[in-house]
Chains A and B, each alone.
Chain A
Amino acid sequence: AQRVTQPEKLLSVFKGAPVELKCNYSYSGSPELFWYVQYSRQRLQLLLRHISRESIKGFTADLNKGETSFHLKKPFAQEEDSAMYYCALRTTSGSRLTFGEGTQLTVNP
C-alpha cells in the first residue's frame, strides 16, 4: 500500500528566508503527487501538481523518483504563506488520494 510521510509537523521561518517542506512517499508504481494548502479556517485547495511542473505563488516542487520525494520549496517566504500544507499521492489506477500528516508553516515577520 502507498504511504506519504511529512517528517516536520511544524516549521517556522522568517519572512524572506527560503523554505522547504519535505514530502517522502512509498509506492511501487508511478505516482501522481500533489501539494494542497489550507489557510486558517479555510478549505483545502490545490497548490500544485507534479504533472504540471508549474510554479504557484512562488512555490515549486520536483518529483524525485530516485529518492521518492516531492519537496515543496520557495526561495523567499512571505507572511501570507503561513498555512497547513499537505502532500498527497494518487496511484495511476485510481482516483483516491493518500495524504501525509501535514506541515504547519509559520512565517514570522
Chain B
Amino acid sequence: NAGVTQTPKFRVLKTGQSMTLLCAQDMNHEYMYWYRQDPGMGLRLIHYSVGEGTTAKGEVPDGYNVSRLKKQNFLLGLESAAPSQTSVYFCASSSGKAAGETQYFGPGTRLLVL
C-alpha cells in the first residue's frame, strides 16, 4: 500500500495564479484533512472531509477550496495564490474518530508563491 500520496511535491506560483493539490489514499479511510505547516505555528487545519461528497472548514480556510468527489481523493485548490500561502501543505487521512484513532500523513507539498 502506498498510504497517503500527494501531487505535486514542489511548485512555484506567481501571485494570482491558481493551482490544485491532489491527495490520494488507498486505505479506504472516511476522513481526510488538509493542513499547512509554517515555522513556529505548527500544523493548522485548512479544510477537512468526513466522507465522500462532504467538506468542512478548519482553522484557516480563507483563500482555499476543497472537493471530495471520490472517497480516495481530496483536492485542495488555490484560486488566486498570494505570497502568504507560501507554505508546506500536508494531507492526512483517518478511518474515524474511535479512541486512539490516528491520522496518517502524506509526504507534503512545498509551495512557493512569488
Contacts and interface: CB of A to CB of B under 8 A. Distances in A.
- For chain A, the bracket of interface size reads 20 to 34
- For chain B, the bracket of interface size reads 20 to 34
Contacts of B100: 32, 49, 51-52
A99 B114 CA distance: 28
Contacts of A52: 100
A56 interface: no
Best-buried of A6, A9, A96, A99 by chain B (most CB within 10 Å): A96
A86 B42 contact: yes
Interface stretch (B11-19, B43-51, B68-76): B43-51
A46 B102 contact: yes
Given A86-B42, A86-B43, 6 more contacts: A90-B97, A95-B48, A96-B58, A97-B33, A99-B44, A102-B42
